[in-house]
Amino acid sequence: MALELEDVRRAAHLARLGLSDEEAASYVDDLSRILEMADRLQAVDTEHVAPLAHSLDTTQHLRVDEVTEEDQRERFQRCAPAVEDGLYLVPRVVE
Amino acid sequence: MQWETVIGLEVHVQLATQSKIFSGASTAFGAAPNTQACAVDLGLPGVLPVLNESAVAMAVQFGLGINAEIPEVSIFDRKNYFYADLPKGYQTSQMYHPIVGPGEVEIVLGDDKTKRIRVHHAHLEEDAGKSLHEDYHGMSGIDLNRAGTPLLEIVSEPDMRSAAEAVAYLRAIHAIVTYLGVSDGNMAEGSMRCDVNVSIRPEGQAAFGTRAEIKNVNSFRFVERAIAFEVERQIELLEDGGRVVQETRLYDPEADETRSMRTKEEANDYRYFPCPDLLPVVLDKAYVDHLRSTLPELPAEKRARFENALGLSAYDAGVLSSSRPMAEYFEAVKEVCGDAKLAANWVQGELSGQLNRENLSIDDSPVTAQQLGELVLRVKDETINGKAAKQVFAALWNGEGDSADAIIEAKGLKQVTDTGAIEAMIDQVIAESPVQVAQYQDADPDKRGKMIGYFVGQVMKASRGTANPQQVNALLKQKLDP
Amino acid sequence: MHDKTLTELAAGLTAGDFSSRELTDHFLGRIERLDSEINSFITVTAEQAQASADAADATRRQGDAGPLNGLPLALKDLFCTQGVRTSCGSRMLDNFVSPYDATLVEKLAAAGAVSLGKTNMDEFAMGSSNESSYYGPVKNPWDLAAVPGGSSGGSAAAVAAGLTPAALGTDTGGSIRQPAAFCGITGLKPTYGRVSRYGMVAYASSLDQGGPMARSAEDCALLLGAIAGHDPRDSTSVTRGVPDYRAELNAPLAGLRIGLPREYFGEGLDPDVEVAVREAIRVYESLGASVQDISLPHTNLAIPAYYVIAPAEASSNLSRFDGVRFGHRCENPSDLIDLYKRSRAEGFGSEVKRRILMGTHTLSEGFFEAYYKKAQQVRRLIRQDFLDAFDEVDVLMGPAAPTPAFDLGANKDPLSMYLQDIYTIAINLAGIPGISVPAGFIGQRPTGLQILGPHFAESQLLNVAHQFQQATDWHLKRPVFGEENS
């Protein structure tokens, strides 16, 4: 399935990825060819095949409900670009 | 034209776990910002989620509480979108295989009729953090303490036809989750919030109208008002020849109106896919049966028992079963005094009135169920009369004594039923009231009934309220009537 | 010392031939002198390494040395290391000093290992040549004009160059096995779920698996024993017990049934690589194994399925890099969307962007069924191919990569780069273990034999690989480069 510039722009917006016009154009070409390769999947009949999300047929184990984590705010915020009063700062969010 | 309102609710219930749904951080409310956001909640590079067993158990208990199917397998999906309070760029939720399948909730309407509202499903998901909009040099602050708190999202079918039904449904959900103890149901702290889908259609039309979704309404009253406003808005729009657009709206309690939240700047595309970091949750029959066996009596069953086995009115049964603390309090009073109706009257009357006046919840009542039960018992066995009982209640409320008996004793409120003692008081009153006696005896016999009230009042006063009023009345008649 | 295997170094430490501090200083000295030639390390943690070495020596004197006590090794730079930059080869995390340790890092430390530093890699493990690193390409120590393979190219090159006796890598579609083959070392991708992924920065969560890269299968067995096992912090890690992977190394191979997937010997395979692989298989026959052809009929769908599933998972996994809590943040964002878009545009390189776009597109409305769901159905067929094959044979053998290491800059087109993974990628989709062992040279450049087994057959794979290394000495060859002999 070929891809249009609009598709790349839409995906870039959904993924919050800024792209220059030049980049976007080059991705149209690359992604079209990758999708064309992916289209080989359509050749095989999978009507009665269940999707496989995990390679092992194991099931989720559950964690005991207890508080095991302490406050490590100071340590975690050392790698943060902008904090104040313990809050992460972002450009004003308008509801 | 007559319009019919169609309402569906998505109720988000914060589950009362100690730790978060996928991490060991505390869920306690009110901590300093980001002190309860651990590496997993922050979505640090490399961290992984592990599912909380209590969150699973609570979701299943809710499912059993609404007689829902519990599928053997449920699966977590990622809902992908960017937002300031969403640390990983996706919310872990359940799109295709929720933990609770279809069920139903019974609601009680104003005229004591009941109606069943179908629940489409309920699924587990993680809560997001909070954006704080105080001005940090033109920036917003993000607190991720709430991120990862377990939520059960309960999605109803569009079965409600009025704001009152929607509120009754929400109350029923509130009662069920608090009865089960799977949530504290504290709406002020955001433990229960709902999205309301509202549409209207001409009465008799089968197809649904276009709906608006009102996001994040967090009180019973706001649900009612938001729906009322929204229905009016839609009716006006349609009657003016306009169209309802499918959109997300926000209820503003101050303006008492709903407002469009986002212009259709972009259609959301959440790109749901199974979360590769979590495996299918498999619940075997034995596990579900075990949880079923530990379910407490739920509001609907309790209401029926109060009405049928205890002989309460439908109204009393409904009110007393509406919350678990209320029901437990009432049952404890009933146990002590042995009289369901008297217990119901006292809990609903004196106690509820005083609680309301002081804006207290029943959990904070200064009078314990044991104390009230003993008081009601003394009313029942006629140790005290009704008037004295109110004095005793007030004294208990104010902490003037530990038990009804102690207060009765200390204040000398024990009902006087000794004929001799009452006669002595009557004789004194008659002796001190020659004018009134003469008037009484000169009056028409059929007017005397009213006039005797004066003497009864005087005798009761003389007894400091302890004389048995019926006895006083009878003895007065004997002595005064010529 | 750097010519010795990890096992030999362990014996040397036990015998008191040298201390961990001496050993550590030796490798740190080599890194200092030689790594400028190959660029295999992003961060060298010399001081911490010396301190851990001293601690390991002290522990040994007290007589309670763990299995890896005092042994230096290196970590691919996507294992989170507390207090040490964890970059993932990306500008996005150039400033990210991890506040916590990955489970594998904890386990290695608990076993007494000494970390020399963090090795170079393709950005976020996306690549097969190590050319997509923000820190520049790694060069193959066998031939500085060649790539080391990827994405664990820094780990492979560092081991091959004798800058570390062993390293941890990760493998999502061949990222341990292909660079191991290109650099003439031994690399094991364990069964999915065998080792913890906690603290390993995710590329494609359902495919990623960490594993050892070292000079010999025996060394890999030693390392795997230390890192394998259930981790309660990783839901996908399995609870099954960890065997002694060294116990079976010397089991005889008589009667071993080897399957050769026809699809792994077809078009696109470099004839010289094929010769080397077939020669290796003859060695096995001489050790008493039997060989038969076998078919993995859905092999040609593995690359398409992988390049739908892996980018889809990656597009979601990489959303957390948004410039808010860690990592690169653009200057003066005008609003929230601008913050996201510019931080991510500046932080990610072109291959990462390509895969994010690809994954976002295939998961979006109208494409999900045709691509993502379809790829997951095909994934089941691919796994079934292997399950069926292992009904007939004990192990499968073939090339680890279709060619020997190619020249830097030779694969500019992303699609031709993706084809590099043709023999490795299905293994991740199926979740089975695979090991690559040195099997000869084409000119100066090494080539590798890949051995595959059923889920949790690591002991057998290590035994089969070890027996080959008892009969051959390809794995003992060392490149001569830089100021060697010093």
Residue of C nearest to A81 (CA): C326
Determine phi and psi for C94, rounding to 5 degrees.
-55, -30
pLDDT at B81 over 50: yes
**C83 and chain A in contact, CB less than 8 A:** no
The more confidently predicted of residues B21 and B190 is: B21
Q: Taking 80 as the threshold, does the pLDDT of residue B116 lie above it?
A: yes
Average pLDDT value over all residues in chain B:
92
Q: What is the pLDDT of residues C147-178, one digit of tens each?
A: 999 999 999 999 999 999 999 999 999 999 99
Of B220, B188, B178, B182, whose CA–CA distance to B9 is shortest? B220
CA distance B44 to chain C (A): 8
pLDDT band at B138 (very low <50, low <70, confident <90, very high): confident
User: What sections of C229-328 are H helices per DSSP?
Assistant: 271-286, 302-317
- Which chains border B (3 or more CB–CB pairs < 8 Å)? A, C
Residue C235 · residue A60 · CB < 8 Å: yes
The model's confidence at residue C115, banded by pLDDT at 50, 70 and 90, is very high
Q: With 0-12 CB in 10 A as exposed, 13-18 as middle and 19+ as buried, what is B96?
A: exposed
Integer Cα distance of C246 and C264 in angstroms: 29
Query: CB of C23 within 8 A of CB of C6?
Result: no
CB contact under 8 A, B46 and C205: no
Burial C224-245 (b: 16+ CB within 10 A, else e): bbbbbbbbebbbbbbeeeeeeb
> Is C285 within 8 Å of C257 (Cβ atoms)?
no
User: Residue C196 pLDDT more than 80?
Assistant: yes
Cβ-Cβ contacts under 8 Å, C350 against chain A: 23
HSE-up of C141 (CA within 13 Å, CB side)?
Answer: 31
**Which C positions 289-348 lie with beta carbon below 8 A of chain A?**
298, 300-301, 303-305, 307-308, 315, 319, 322-327, 329, 333-342, 344-345, 348
Chain C's closest residue to A14, CA to CA, is C360
Q: Under DSSP, is residue A29 helix (H, G, I), strand (E, B) or coil?
A: helix
C chain contacts of residue A17, beta-carbon cutoff 8 Å: 341, 344-345, 348, 353, 356-357
pLDDT in tens, C332-387: 999 999 999 999 999 999 999 999 999 999 999 999 999 999 999 999 999 999 99
Burial of residue A50, with CB atoms counted within 10 A of its CB: 0-12 exposed, 13-18 middle, 19 or more buried: exposed
- Cα torsion through C83, C85, C87, C88, rounded to 10: -50
Task: For A83, list phi and psi in degrees, rounded to 5.
Answer: -135, 155
The nearest alpha carbon in chain A to C353 belongs to A17
From the list A23, A38, A80, the residue facing C371 with the nearest CB is A38
B 67-86 residues with CB below 8 A of C?
Answer: 78, 80, 82, 84
Pick B110 or C100 by higher pLDDT.
Answer: C100
C351 CB neighbours in chain A (<8 A) are none
Find which of C309, C320, C341, C379 to mutate to test the B interface (most B CBs within 10 Å of its CB).
C320
Mean confidence (pLDDT) of chain A: 94
Which partners does chain C have (≥3 C-beta pairs < 8 Å)?
A: A, B
Contact criterion met (CB < 8 Å) for B46 and C78: yes
What residues of C are annotated to the active site? Answer: 76, 151, 175
Kindly give the pairing relationship between strand B90-93 and strand B103-108: unpaired
On the question of pLDDT at B118 being above 70, the answer is: yes
Q: Report chain A residues whose CB lies below 8 A from the CB of B58.
A: none
For B265-287, how does the pLDDT look when each residue is reduced to its tens digit (9 = 90+)? 456 799 999 999 999 999 999 99
* pLDDT surpassing 60 at residue A95: no
Mean pLDDT is lowest, of B98-102, B260-264, B382-386, C79-83, for B260-264
**pLDDT score for B268:** 79
Q: What tokens were used for B227?
A: 């729906």
State the pLDDT at residue B266: 56
Q: Is it the case that residue B457 has pLDDT exceeding 50?
A: yes
Contact B19 A86 (CB under 8 A): no
Residue B22 near residue B52, CB atoms below 8 Å: yes
How do residues B232-268 score in pLDDT, each as one tens digit? 999 999 999 999 999 899 999 898 999 988 654 456 7
Chain-chain contact of B45 with C88 (C-beta, under 8 angstroms):
yes
- How much is the average pLDDT of C14-23? 97
User: Which residues 334-393 on chain B approach chain A with CB closer than 8 angstroms?
Assistant: none
Average pLDDT in chain C: 97
pLDDT value for C486: 44
Q: What's the pLDDT tens digit per position in B188-217?
A: 889 999 999 999 999 999 999 999 999 989
- For residue C103, the model assigns a pLDDT of 98
Q: Pick the closest to residue C250 from C11, C470, C475 (CA basis).
A: C470
CA C433 to chain centre: 12
DSSP 8-state assignment for residue A64: -
Yes or no, beta carbons of C99 and A75 under 8 Å apart = yes
> How far off is chain B from A81, nearest CA to CA, in Å?
13
Binned at pLDDT 50, 70 and 90, residue A1 comes out as: low
Nearest to B19 among A58, A66, A82 (CB): A66
B434 at C interface, C-beta within 8 A: no
**Contacting residues of B for A65, CB less than 8 Å apart:** 17-19, 52-55
Q: 3-state DSSP call for residue B31?
A: coil
Shortest CA gap C157–chain A (Å):
30
pLDDT of residue B264: 46
Q: What is the pLDDT of residue B135?
A: 74
Q: Give yes or no for residue C107 having a pLDDT over 90.
A: yes
- B39 in contact with chain C, both atoms CB, cutoff 8 A: yes
Q: Which two tokens stand for residue A40?
A: 């080989």
| Contact at CB, C363 and B271, closer than 8 angstroms | yes
Chain C residues whose beta carbon lies within 8 Å of the beta carbon of residue A50: 377, 380
Question: pLDDT of C288-303, one tens digit each?
Answer: 999 999 999 999 999 9
Taking residues B14-39, report their average pLDDT.
Answer: 97
Q: Tell me the mean pLDDT in the region C252-277.
A: 96
Q: Cβ neighbours of residue C202 under 8 Å, at least 6 residues apart?
A: B45, B46, B277, C208, C313, C317
Residue of C nearest to B270 (CA): C364
Would you call the peptide bond into C151 cis, given omega within 30 degrees of 0 as the criterion? yes
Nearest-CB residue to A65 (from B33, B52, B271) = B52
Query: Chain A contacts of B282, Cβ < 8 Å?
Result: 59-60
* C483: confidence class by pLDDT, cuts 50, 70, 90: low
Greater pLDDT, C258 or B478: C258
Per-residue pLDDT tens for B278-324?
A: 999 999 999 999 999 999 999 999 999 999 999 999 889 988 998 88
pLDDT digits (tens, 9 = 90+) for C214-232: 999 999 999 999 999 999 9
Collect all residues of chain B within an 8 Å Cβ-Cβ radius of residue A74. none
Averaged over B344-368, what is the pLDDT?
93
Question: Given this model, what pLDDT does residue B482 score?
Answer: 67
Alpha-carbon distances, residue C479 vs B95, B394, C73, C369 (angstroms): 54, 95, 19, 49
CA distance C209 to C152: 12
Closest-CA residue to B105 (of B165, B190, B150, B185): B165
Token pair listed for C464: 């089969």
Write the pLDDT tens digit of every residue in C244-258. Answer: 999 999 999 999 999
**Residue percentage of chain B with pLDDT more than 90:** 72
**10 Å Cβ neighbour count for C346?**
15
**Cβ–Cβ under 8 Å, residues B99 and B87:** no
CA distance C287 to chain B (A): 41
Tell me the ipTM for this assembly: 0.97
